[in-house]
Amino acid sequence: MSKTMVSTAVAGVLLALGSHAAIAAPDWGKVPKRDVHVFHPGVTPIEWATKKADHSGTAGMKKGETCAGCHEEKGALNFNFKRLADKELEPKGAPKTMTFPVSVQAAYDAANLYIRLSFKAPAGGADKGDKDNEVKATILFADAKVPQADQFGCWQSCHADAKTMPGADDKKSKYVAAGAYELVQWASKGNKVSDGSVTTERKMSGGTTGAKVEASKAGDTYTVTFTRKNPGEGKSLPFGVAIHADHSHGRFHHVSLGYKLGIGADGDVKAVKQ
């Protein structure tokens, strides 16, 4: 049953339970937090990332090194953000905040996997293409058939000919050559949850995760908790996070590198059994 949204000015106020019945939440006080830094990627699709003339990390990628293994140092990112913000890689203009942390927690029980994201969504974006939604939060889970998803995270779904890329087809969405990403997204207007996929195209519905969402805002901090069916204990899933802040849309999000979520298994983020 839906609950009426109350004022977000009150710290810790409930934003939404979506259109689903409430689910017993994990004891988040017993679940470790792992900060994942998201960043504005500019015009750096998979074609750019795998081209030696553009990206010096291609040699390491060919050896099997992960993007996070190269670019994450002491919990932060070592990118040349000045380059990411210049006209070559961001012709429309970069946001004032190029990177920020997202706290990630995960838990599971026999039926469900729970993922909790906490973050401060920065203002100062150069693009405000989504007039309806101030903030969106997305998680992508790659299956075993997505090429090199363990290395590249969600970059395999990002291509130079997709909409919002310079000179690209406005009707072309994200896609992968093989396999699929499960896509779950929360959007602030109407507290909408999307359960979709990325295969030969991106679809915002028709997914199979059974995703539900709860969201709250305390001061300037959003907390978004996704509940989806448990993919299976003992699995380690490639996943990535994207935050659209300040009414941004398309490629003007802040995204994470690729990480592993361990469900009773090893991972960069380990889900705690409840």
Q: Where along the chain do its domains lie?
A: 15-20+32-273
Residue 70 CA: distances (Å) to CA of 39, 49, 120, 165 = 15, 13, 26, 25
- This prediction has a pTM of 0.91
Q: What is the mean pLDDT of each run of 10 residues along the chain (274 residues)?
A: 38 40 78 98 97 95 95 94 96 97 98 98 96 98 96 96 94 96 98 97 98 96 98 97 97 97 97 96
Topology (CATH level 3) of domain 15-20+32-273: Immunoglobulin-like (2.60.40)
pLDDT at 5: 39
DSSP string, 216-262: EEETTEEEEEEEEE---TTEEEEEEEEEE-TT--GGGSEE---EEEE
Cα–Cα distances (Å) from 207 to 4, 108, 114, 199, 254, in that order, read: 26, 20, 17, 11, 23
Burial (CB count <10 Å: 0-12, 13-18, 19+), residue 186: buried
User: Looking at residue 25, what is its pLDDT?
Assistant: 78
